[in-house]
């Protein structure tokens, strides 16, 4: 008998995709990560280079910037390379990545006028590329700062919190967790929620694709998002990807657990109301 809560890919509506991480598939960046979110694959690399934007020159401050690009055959139809003029979507996502990390990176801990460059290249896109780019960049930056401390390029760890993200879509009154490309074609609305390890919110992006979102559904999205962010952290920890962050995680556990326990109860109520 057909399960009414299963989508085309076979996943349940409330089921996240599996995350797989390969560290340093290429050697030249300080740290790099190949992150796979289901069939979506993004290569994230982090480096620290001399120089800052013109508005920071002479102030002795560091900076952080990000770039995001799709390889030509990352999508079903060949995408044009961004050679002369950047694609608007690529610019927007790059700004989101840069903005998100600047909110949790202490640039004053960089020695001299240097810039942290985060480069995200989508090798294969099946929905959730910005989510994968944010998580992969977090992991790469965690590993990079250890090397920068060893080389005395930074005074201490620059990353004050771990950035995570999740996508949630809506079809009718049903929330669709972590939509892939086949889901995306059917969505009435789509939201990306960017948060931190300690439960803080960085940014909510999204809106209606086909029809407006009710206040009730928007409230469900916000409540569900924090549960999903916790589930992503749990998945990363179980696979050993948060080894660079374990000491901070232990110190925050007592603060975080009651909050997410409450959110899990709210998520269960919402799920039962849709059954």
pLDDT tens, position by position, 116-163: 999 999 999 999 999 999 999 999 999 999 999 999 999 999 999 999
Q: What is the DSSP letter of 14?
A: T
Q: Cα–chain-centroid distance for residue 214?
A: 25
Question: Where are any strands of DSSP class E within 24-155?
Answer: 31-37, 40-50, 63-70, 114-124
Task: Give CA–CA dist 244/230, Å, rounded.
Answer: 17
pLDDT at res. 83: 62
Predicted confidence band at 245 (pLDDT cuts at 50, 70, 90)? low
pLDDT at res. 22: 96
For residue 258, give both structure tokens: 């009651």
pLDDT at res. 254: 39
Residues 202, 196: contact at Cβ < 8 Å?
Answer: yes
pLDDT at res. 85: 63
pLDDT digits (tens, 9 = 90+) for 197-218: 888 999 999 999 898 999 999 9
71 by Cβ neighbours in 10 Å (0-12 / 13-18 / 19+) ranks as middle
Domains of the chain: 19-274 (3.30.230.70)
pLDDT at res. 258: 36
Q: Which of 175, 156, 177 is nearest to 166 (CA)?
A: 177
């Amino acid at each position: 008998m057909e399960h009414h809560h299963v989508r085309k890919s076979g996943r349940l509506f409330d089921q996240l995709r599996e995350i797989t991480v390969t560290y340093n598939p290429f050697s030249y960046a300080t740290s790099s990560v190949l992150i796979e979110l289901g069939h979506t694959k993004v290569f994230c690399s982090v480096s620290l280079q001399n120089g800052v934007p013109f508005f920071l020159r002479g102030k002795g401050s560091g900076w952080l910037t990000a770039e995001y690009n799709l390889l030509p055959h990352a999508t079903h139809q060949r995408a044009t390379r961004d050679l002369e003029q950047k694609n608007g979507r690529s610019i927007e996502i790059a700004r989101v990545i840069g903005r998100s990390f600047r909110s949790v990176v202490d640039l004053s801990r960089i020695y001299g006028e240097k810039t942290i460059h985060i480069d995200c290249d989508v090798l294969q896109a099946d929905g959730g590329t910005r989510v994968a780019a944010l998580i992969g960049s977090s992991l790469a930056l965690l590993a990079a700062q250890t090397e920068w401390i060893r080389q005395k390029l930074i005074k201490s760890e620059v990353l004050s919190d771990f950035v995570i993200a999740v996508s949630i879509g809506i079809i009718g009154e049903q929330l669709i967790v972590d939509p892939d490309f086949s889901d995306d074609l059917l969505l009435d609305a789509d939201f990306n929620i960017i948060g931190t390890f300690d439960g803080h919110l960085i940014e909510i992006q999204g809106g209606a694709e086909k029809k407006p979102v009710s206040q009730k559904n928007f409230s469900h999205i916000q409540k569900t998002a924090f549960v999903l962010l916790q589930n992503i952290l749990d998945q990363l920890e179980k696979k050993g990807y948060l080894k660079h962050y374990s000491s901070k995680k232990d110190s925050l556990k007592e603060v975080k657990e009651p909050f997410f326990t409450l959110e899990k109860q709210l998520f269960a109520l919402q799920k039962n109301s849709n059954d």
